[in-house]
Amino acid sequence: MIRVKEITKETYFCDEAVGKIGKEEIDFLKAQVPHNPRARARMCFHNDTNAALQEMFVVYVPETYNRPNKHQAESLHILEGAADFVFFDENGKVTQVLPLGDRASGKQFYCRIPEQVYHTLFIRSKEIVIHEARLGPFQKADTIFAPWALEEGTPQVDTWLADLEKTLAAKFTSDLTASKRPLIRLKSTSPEVYMADELVVNIGPAEVDFLKMNVSKTARKRIRICAHENSESEMHEMYMIFPQRSYMRPSRHTIDESLHLIEGSATYVFFNNDGKITEVVRLGGDRPDRKLYCRVPAGHYHTLIIHSEQLVFRQTTTGPFNKADTSYAPWAPTEDDPKVGDEWLRQLEAKIRSM
């Protein structure tokens, strides 16, 4: 398991330069929940509360009460379990209910929450594991709790929630019982790039199928759906497909980014400024050392070796998009000649095997 720092019995911070999470870390979080009065636990992968991109993996149980609140844009991706995401207007009237679940559930597994919209979460499984992303720095004052919702710890919370459940059952039955959601509205900006055109962006089986059906039509066999509004957005999130053995010239950025694996297997390789390998992170598979998420810190050269036929993944970083944020390693070939890139990857794989 990775090194972590305990901040409270509820909150832990990754204590490694390259953050990553897999089954070991998730099991650790699950084990902490029964010891926490608020019935939750989280592991944060940003350096501190001042970080521009804040990402955490959180475990909730049905007893967890999330008082309706609003704040700047954030998102969540369900790894395990199921929940109903409920949105309200300013007066507490329910405006939308979005059932969410893990990949095995067939439900939407990702939701991007619009800024300043009241929302809460109903847990529908024994426990739920969530990857949450939002902009920093963290300020308590940025979160506004709904004045019409009971405070945490109030004895009448259970009654309030029961009444809300009745409202959902009476007015949103079709949303709650829909077996499959249609493809969200998308705008194409290029053969490789589609922008989500919804207020509440959500990703699930239909969107992944869309990417798989259209990736072969692109010249580089790469494709993405962007959940952010445009290139000027402050938080960028993309669901992407890349083909096996895509050569990505090692690069580094002035900002942090992360990769969350959806399907496939790959190896993240990190280098120092001279091209020497400093760390290898294996993604995908059932072995204890395999991870499903990796946070790439600013200033670290890195590349990705894709082993599976396709790699489906989510990438998260801060915006607005600026080409100047990325610099390429002078000791690695350009992407102009695929054969040269493929040979460089083969040599890199041989170095990794010899380590």
Residues of the chain with CATH 2.60.120.10: 4-177, 186-354
Is the separation of the CB atoms in 42 and 58 below 8 Å? Answer: yes
In b/e form, how buried is each residue of 283-312, taking b as 16+ CB within 10 angstroms? Answer: bbbeeeebbbbbbbbbebbbbbbbbbebbb
Supply the pLDDT for residue 175. Answer: 73
Supply the pLDDT for residue 174. Answer: 67
Supply the pLDDT for residue 179. Answer: 66
Q: Which two tokens mark 181?
A: 């959601």
Supply the pLDDT for residue 178. Answer: 67
Least Cα distance to 205 among 125, 84, 100, 293 occurs for 100
Is the separation of the CB atoms in 135 and 62 below 8 Å? Answer: no
**Chain center to CA of 355:** 31
Supply the pLDDT for residue 286. Answer: 73
Is the separation of the CB atoms in 227 and 197 below 8 Å? Answer: no
Residue 284 zone, left/alpha/beta (φ > 0; ψ -120 to 50; rest): left
Is the separation of the CB atoms in 232 and 319 below 8 Å? Answer: yes
Report pTM. Answer: 0.94
CATH topology of domain 186-354: Jelly Rolls (2.60.120)
The architecture (CATH level 2) of 4-177 comes to Sandwich (2.60)
* Rg of the chain in Å (alpha carbons): 21
Task: Output the tens digit of pLDDT for each of the chain's 355 residues.
Answer: 999 999 999 999 999 999 999 999 999 999 999 999 999 999 999 999 999 999 999 999 999 999 999 998 899 999 999 999 999 999 999 999 999 999 999 999 999 998 999 999 999 999 999 999 999 898 888 999 999 999 998 989 999 999 999 999 888 876 776 667 899 999 999 999 999 999 999 999 999 999 999 999 999 999 999 999 999 999 999 999 999 989 999 999 999 999 999 999 999 999 999 999 999 999 997 777 899 999 999 999 999 999 999 999 999 999 999 999 999 999 999 999 999 999 999 999 999 999 8
Instruction: Report how far residue 267's alpha carbon sits from residue 146's, in angstroms, rounded to the nearest whole number.
Output: 44
